[in-house]
C-alpha cells in the first residue's frame, strides 16, 4: 500500500480541535460534546499504511456492587480501531483506548493469545491500563479470521505467520503512539507493555528486536520456541490417544497430582499442608509407583496410563529416548481448563493448536501419521525463521537504554513449559557477566502451583493486567508485578520479591493464603515458625547446588 502523509488533513484536525476548545471555553459546547468531537476527529487522521476504521467516545461508568463483589468502573475514553496494512497480504488490527481526562503521559501496549485474531484477549490488560490513566492498546496480531484456538484460516498465509510471529506488536506500537500523540498533542513520556502466553512472546520480541519501543515490559508464560511448543502439545495428545486405554481420566489426574505433591514434599520440595509443590523443577517423580497390581480402579494407574503420564512429564523424546524439548512438571496434573485434560481432548477433529502443522504439510495433514524424528526437522526448516524470533537476539540494547523486563511463569503451566523461561534467563545471563548483571535489567518470578497465566492451586493474584486483581490497592508494588515494573523503571526500585495472593473460591474477597514470589534463582523458604499461610514467615534464598533433588 502506498505511504501517504496528509499535512492538510492534520492541519484540519488541529483547527477543528482549536475550534472545539474555543467553543468549550465560551460555554457554547458542553464538556461531553467537546470530548466526543475531539475523539471523532481522529477518524480523519492519516498515518502511513493505516486506516482509522472508527473513533468513538465511550462514556465513563461508575463502579457498582454486585452479588459477586464490587465491579470496577472506568473513566471516559476515546475508543479507536485502526488497520495497519503495510503489505498486500497484511492486515493488522489495532484498538486503542485514550482516557479523555487524567492521561498520565504513558502509552501501554498489550498482548494477545494463541493464534490471535481478536482484540478481546487484550481487554483485561487495557482495563487495568485505563484505570491507571494510560493510553492503552492491543492488536489482533494480524491473523483474523483465525481465533485463539483455531489457526486453520492461516494455511498458506505466510505474511500472516510473520505478522503473528514478530511484526504485529511493533506495528501496533508505532500506530498506537502516533494516534496517542494526535489525540493529546504530545508524545508519550513513558511506554510499558504487558502480555501473557502469545502475548508474552510478543513482549520478548519487543525487548530483543525493537528495544526502543518500550521502557518496561512485563510478560507471563512467554512462548519462545513456537514450533517445539506446539510439538509438545501434539506429543501429549498422541500419547493419550494413539493407543486404547491411554487417556487419563479426571480421577486418575487427581490421583497423580496428590501422589506427586506427597512425593515432592518428602524430598524437601514442598511445604506441609500446601496443595502445590514449591520447587517442582528439583523434584523427581515416577508415576509407576501408582501402577495397578491387580484390577484397574481409580486408586491406581494401568500400564498404558503410566506410559501416558511419563510422556507428559518427559516431553518429546527421540527414538533413543533422549529429550528433545521440555515436559510438564510434577504438580501440574490438573483436570482444569488448559490442564492435562485439555491436552488430551481434540478441538473439533484435531489436537489442540495443531493448525501450525497444517501450515507446513497442508490442510489434509493427519496427526496419526506424524513422526517426530522425521517431521520436526521439516517443520523447523519451514517455520523456525518466521515464528521463533523470541529464541534469538540480545537484551543488551534494551538494557543499555534503561529498559526493564519482568517475566513470570506458573510452575504448574501445561501449555508453555516453565523450563523455557528458566533456560531463557540462564542463556542471557551467560551472554553477560552472570545473574547479577542480568538482574540489573531483567528478572524472573516463578509461581508455584499456578497454571497457564493464572489459576491452579497456588497463589496466582499478583498481576492486575490479567484480570486477577492483586491485594488492594492495585498500585501496590509489593503485590502487583506491573506496579513493581513501573517503580523499577521510574524510581529504580528493583523488585526482589512480590507477594502473591490466593483468594478463596467461594469468596473472591477473602484471602486464603499469601506467599512471596522470589526473583530467580532465589525461592521462598519457610522460616520454621508461624503460619504457612502468611508471606511474612518466608524468606527468599538461593538454593544450594548441593541440595537434594
What are the grid coordinates assigned to 352, written together? Answer: 489442540
Contact call for residues 470 and 116 (beta carbons, < 8 A) = no
Supply the pLDDT for residue 479.
93
Task: Going from the first residue of the chain to its last (549 residues), give the mean pLDDT of each consecutive group of 10, the final group possibly shorter.
Answer: 36 38 49 84 96 96 74 90 96 98 97 97 96 97 97 97 98 98 97 98 98 98 97 98 96 97 96 95 97 93 98 97 97 90 94 97 96 98 97 96 98 97 94 84 98 95 86 76 97 96 82 96 95 96 65
What are the grid coordinates assigned to 159, written together? Answer: 505474511
Domain boundaries in the chain?
30-188, 231-268+276-383
**Alpha carbon separation from 427 to 165, 431, 435 (Å, rounded):** 21, 7, 10
Catalytic positions, please? 197, 413, 452
- Cβ of 297: how many Cβ atoms within 10 Å? 12
Distance CA 48, CA 461 (A): 40
Supply the pLDDT for residue 19.
41
What are the grid coordinates assigned to 227, written together? Answer: 514450533
Conformation bin of residue 284: beta by default, left when phi > 0, alpha when psi is -120 to 50: beta
What are the grid coordinates assigned to 209, written together? Answer: 528486536
Supply the pLDDT for residue 69.
64
SS3 445: strand
- H or E element: which one contains 390? none
What are the grid coordinates assigned to 508, written together? Answer: 473472591
Which residues make beta-bridge pairs with 519? 445
Distance CA 42, CA 309 (A): 55
Supply the pLDDT for residue 14.
37
DSSP state string for 162-188: HIIIIIHHHHHHHHHHHHHHHHHSS--
Distance CA 486, CA 219 (A): 13
191 burial (CB, 10 Å; 0-12 / 13-18 / 19+) is buried
Distance CA 488, CA 452 (A): 25
What are the grid coordinates assigned to 440, written together? Answer: 540489573
pTM of the complete model: 0.92
- Strands 135-139 and 92-99, by their bridges, are antiparallel
What are the grid coordinates assigned to 229, written together? Answer: 511448543
Which residues make beta-bridge pairs with 350? 347
Amino acid at each position: 500500500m502506498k505511504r501517504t502523509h496528509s499535512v492538510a488533513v492534520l492541519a484540519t484536525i488541529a483547527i477543528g480541535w482549536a475550534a472545539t476548545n474555543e467553543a468549550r471555553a465560551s460555554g457554547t459546547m458542553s464538556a461531553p460534546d467537546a470530548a466526543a468531537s475531539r475523539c471523532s476527529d481522529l477518524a480523519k487522521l492519516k498515518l502511513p499504511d493505516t486506516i482509522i476504521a472508527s473513533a468513538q467516545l465511550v462514556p465513563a461508568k461508575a463502579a457498582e456492587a454486585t452479588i459477586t463483589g464490587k465491579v470496577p468502573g472506568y473513566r471516559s475514553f476515546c475508543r479507536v480501531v485502526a488497520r495497519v496494512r503495510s503489505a498486500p497480504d497484511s492486515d493488522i488490527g489495532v484498538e486503542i483506548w485514550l482516557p479523555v481526562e487524567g492521561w498520565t503521559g504513558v502509552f501501554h501496549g498489550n498482548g494477545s493469545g494463541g493464534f490471535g485474531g481478536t482484540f478481546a484477549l487484550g481487554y483485561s490488560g487495557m482495563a487495568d491500563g485505563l484505570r491507571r490513566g494510560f493510553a492503552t492498546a492491543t492488536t489482533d496480531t494480524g491473523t483474523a479470521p483465525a481465533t485463539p484456538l483455531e489457526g486453520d484460516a492461516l494455511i498458506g498465509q505466510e505474511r500472516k505467520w510473520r505478522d503473528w510471529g514478530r511484526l504485529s506488536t511493533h506495528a501496533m506500537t508505532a500506530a498506537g503512539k502516533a494516534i496517542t500523540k494526535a489525540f493529546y498533542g504530545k508524545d508519550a513520556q513513558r511506554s510499558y507493555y504487558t502480555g501473557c502466553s502469545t502475548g508474552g512472546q510478543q513482549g520478548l520480541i519487543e525487548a530483543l528486536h525493537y528495544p526502543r519501543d518500550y521502557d518496561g515490559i512485563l510478560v507471563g508464560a512467554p512462548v519462545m520456541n513456537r514450533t517445539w511448543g506446539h510439538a509438545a502439545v501434539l506429543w501429549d495428545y498422541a500419547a493419550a490417544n494413539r493407543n486404547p486405554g491411554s487417556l487419563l481420566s479426571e480421577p486418575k489426574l487427581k490421583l497423580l497430582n496428590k501422589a506427586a505433591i506427597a512425593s515432592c514434599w518428602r524430598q524437601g520440595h514442598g511445604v506441609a499442608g500446601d496443595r502445590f509443590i514449591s520447587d517442582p523443577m528439583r523434584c523427581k517423580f515416577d508415576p509407576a509407583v501408582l501402577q495397578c497390581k491387580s484390577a484397574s480402579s481409580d486408586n491406581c494407574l494401568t500400564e498404558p496410563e503410566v506410559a501416558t503420564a511419563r510422556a507428559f512429564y518427559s516431553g518429546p523424546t527421540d527414538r533413543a529416548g533422549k529429550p528433545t524439548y521440555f515436559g510438564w512438571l510434577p504438580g501440574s496434573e490438573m483436570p482444569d481448563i488448559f490442564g492435562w485434560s485439555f491436552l488430551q481432548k481434540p478441538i473439533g477433529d484435531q489436537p489442540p493448536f495443531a493448525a501450525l502443522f497444517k501450515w507446513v504439510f497442508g490442510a489434509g495433514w493427519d496427526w496419526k501419521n506424524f513422526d517426530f524424528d522425521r517431521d520436526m526437522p521439516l517443520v523447523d526448516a519451514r517455520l523456525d525463521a518466521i515464528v521463533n524470533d523470541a529464541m534469538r537476539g540480545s537484551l543488551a540494547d534494551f538494557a543499555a537504554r534503561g529498559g526493564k523486563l519482568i517475566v513470570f511463569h506458573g510452575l504448574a503451566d501445561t501449555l508453555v513449559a516453565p523450563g523455557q523461561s528458566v533456560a531463557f534467563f540462564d542463556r542471557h545471563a551467560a551472554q553477560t557477566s552472570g545473574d547479577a548483571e542480568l538482574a540489573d535489567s531483567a528478572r524472573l518470578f516463578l509461581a508455584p502451583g499456578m497454571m497457564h497465566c493464572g489459576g491452579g492451586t497456588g497463589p496466582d493474584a499478583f498481576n492486575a493486567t490479567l484480570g486477577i486483581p492483586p491485594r488492594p490497592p492495585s498500585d501496590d508494588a509489593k503485590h502487583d508485578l506491573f506496579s513493581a515494573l513501573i517503580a523499577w523503571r521510574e524510581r529504580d526500585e528493583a523488585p526482589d520479591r512480590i507477594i502473591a495472593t490466593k483468594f478463596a473460591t467461594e469468596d473472591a474477597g477473602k484471602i486464603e493464603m499469601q506467599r512471596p514470589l522470589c526473583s530467580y534463582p532465589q525461592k521462598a523458604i519457610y522460616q520454621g515458625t508461624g503460619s504457612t499461610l502468611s508471606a511474612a514467615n518466608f524468606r527468599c534464598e538461593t538454593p544450594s547446588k548441593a541440595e537434594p533433588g
